[in-house]
Amino acid sequence: MAIAILILLILLLALAGALYEARAEAAGRRRFPPPGRLVPAGAGRIHLAGLGEAVPGRPAVLLESGQGSWSLAWRDLQGQIADFARVLAYDRAGLGWSDPGERPRTPERLADELHQALAAAGETGPFVLVGQAMGCQLARLYAARYPEQAAALVMVDPAPGSPRDLPAEEARSLRKLASRSQAAAALARLGIPRLACRRFFPSPASSPDQTLLASQTLNPRFFQALADETRGFLDPSAWRELPDSLGDLFLVIVSPGRDTGQAEDPDPLLGLSSRSHRIPVVGGTNTLAAHPEAVLAAIQAAIEIAALRPASRSGSDGGPASQPAAEA
């Protein structure tokens, strides 16, 4: 009898937690509607936010967020880019305002869903592709799968190696992230992360930005998307279409550099293109947050140079690129 009562109590608590989570998610959707459009892509809808006017003869800008991030990360910079170019930010499936996506969440699927979303929205490009962290590899993959839409590439804080050959320590860290995110997704279905973190977030009236962040990250959809994406990134075969060369596609890398006055080792990523440059910034682990002016300058330069001298596409099929030697 005592065991039956205990089981019944657990079931009632689980039901109460699930109802609490459902009501909290519904309230979040009402309070924070998507700032952009929801367009069909893959198995659901992708949130795509566009600002600024297209300029004839000049590429638009497409922003690709890092792992576990979405269009909100670009909000301030996107408004500045819109002063001189058409600029698009989006949420990968399951993140931000986008619907959950079909599994497995392979990099190729992510690139194809983005292409479908752009087509559904009538955004034809070509684009200066701007990626942050893991988003750099996704932008690079998108340029390989859809070269006609790639006018230039800006990589902000890219990982130094190839996702096809991750160091053992980094692979272990990502596996742990995937496992913990999967466990968090199960707990989030019962509202546990939301309840546990309430004390760290002020009331909605006093801090809407923090409340929005909590609304978008303390739900099972976010944790499941993070777990699925991380597993996809970990599979070396999932990056089989990632090219070893971008030909003469204009490439700018923005990342921290040493300020010791000593010469730095050559960045192997500069070898991806015969027209590549690096903009080093001082310190920090998040260049987008710490040095948005450097990212903005890189995007402006990429737009101007891509408009004046488009890539030939001749070396973008994985063949070797000539070695560049430029660092801004």
What is residue 29's predicted lDDT score, i.e. its pLDDT?
Answer: 93
For every residue of 184-204, DSSP letters joined together read HHHHHTTTHHHHHHGGGS--T
Q: pLDDT 10s per residue in the chain (328 long)?
A: 788 888 888 888 889 889 999 999 999 999 999 999 999 998 899 999 999 999 999 999 999 999 999 999 999 999 999 999 999 999 999 999 999 999 999 999 999 999 999 999 999 889 999 999 999 999 999 999 999 999 999 999 998 878 888 889 999 999 999 999 999 999 999 999 998 887 655 554 446 788 898 899 999 999 999 999 999 999 888 898 888 899 999 999 999 975 544 455 567 899 999 999 999 998 777 999 999 999 999 999 999 999 999 988 644 444 433 344 444 4
Q: Do strands 150-156 and 250-257 pair parallel, antiparallel, or not at all (unpaired)?
A: parallel
Q: How far apart are CA 282 and CA 294, in angstroms?
A: 11
pLDDT tens-digit map of 20-44: 999 999 999 999 999 999 999 988 9
pTM reported for the whole predicted model: 0.90
CA 10 to chain CA centroid, nearest Å: 38
CATH 3.40.50.1820 boundaries in the chain: 38-159+240-260+274-308
Q: What is the model's pLDDT at position 104? A: 93
- Count of beta carbons in the 10 Å neighbourhood of residue 244: 14
Q: Which residue has the tokens 């638009």?
A: 60
Domain 38-159+240-260+274-308 CATH superfamily? Alpha/Beta hydrolase fold, catalytic domain (3.40.50.1820)
Backbone angles phi, psi at 65, to 5 degrees: -80, 165
Per-residue H/E/C for 19-63: HHHHHHHHHHHHHCCCCCEEEEECCEEEEEEEECCCCCCCCEEEE
Output the six-digit token pair for 64.
């690709």
Q: Specify the pLDDT at position 146.
A: 95
Measure Cα distances from 215 to 97, 191, 199 in Å.
10, 12, 14
Helix, strand, coil percent content, the chain, rounded in steps of 5: 50, 15, 35
Q: Phi, psi (5° rounding) for residue 318?
A: 100, -5
**Cα angle 266-64-232, degrees, rounded to a multiple of 5:** 85
